[in-house]
Amino acid sequence: MTLDMRPMLRGEVSRIAIDGALVPEEISGVSFDGPAHIRGEITDEAGYMRLVLEVTLAYRGLCARCLDPVCGEFRMQFERTVANEGTLTDEQLEDNVDEYVVIVDGELDLDEELHDALLLSFPMRLLCSEDCPGLCPKCGKPRREGPCNCPTREIDPRLAVLQTLLDEDDEK
């Protein structure tokens, strides 16, 4: 998404409304139901330009605990100060990389910034619910369906020889 910032730089407008779409980069194990919807604005108040966006993205995937299908809508706020090329030093940009977006040749390209922000903000694991109990590690039965007949306590195979000694003591 590239925005023409020349009218704002010339002082003709003090606000630019943004309503667009962005095709998200693929994330392993997640599919998107379409492009991300981007809505927001850039405001200019006496030379101080501020970008405020809300990104909405519908997704589908599998629960990381129980493997049930999960679908939802991810929302993210994206706020940055807008600076014209040459007004900030390289050191200022490096020190505050998450604070600024830079206008180059009168245009503001938001694609890379938004892709990075989406990748960093999107959940690493999808869950069907916060309290999802997951699957039994032995039989694979979903734990929310109730208990299975698998043993809850298992002896470490490295210590199994010691168990035979305890069994012998019990027989005496």
pLDDT band at 70 (very low <50, low <70, confident <90, very high): very high
Closest to 141 measured CA to CA, from 69, 66, 68, 70:
66
The one-letter amino acid code at 33 reads D
Mean pLDDT of 105-126: 88
Mean pLDDT of 106-126: 89
Burial 106-127 (b: 16+ CB within 10 A, else e): eebebeebbeebbeeeeeeebb
* Dihedral, CA of residue 93, residue 98, residue 100 and residue 103, to nearest 10: 90
pLDDT digits (tens, 9 = 90+) for 14-55: 899 999 999 988 888 899 989 999 999 999 887 788 999 999
pLDDT exceeds cutoff 80 at 158:
yes
For the chain, the helix, strand and coil percentages under 3-state DSSP, each to the nearest 5: 25, 40, 40
- Residue spans of the domains in the chain: they are 2-132, 134-172
pLDDT at site 96: 60
Gap between the Cα atoms of 61 and 160, Å rounded: 40
| pTM of this structure | 0.72
Mean pLDDT over the full length of the chain: 85
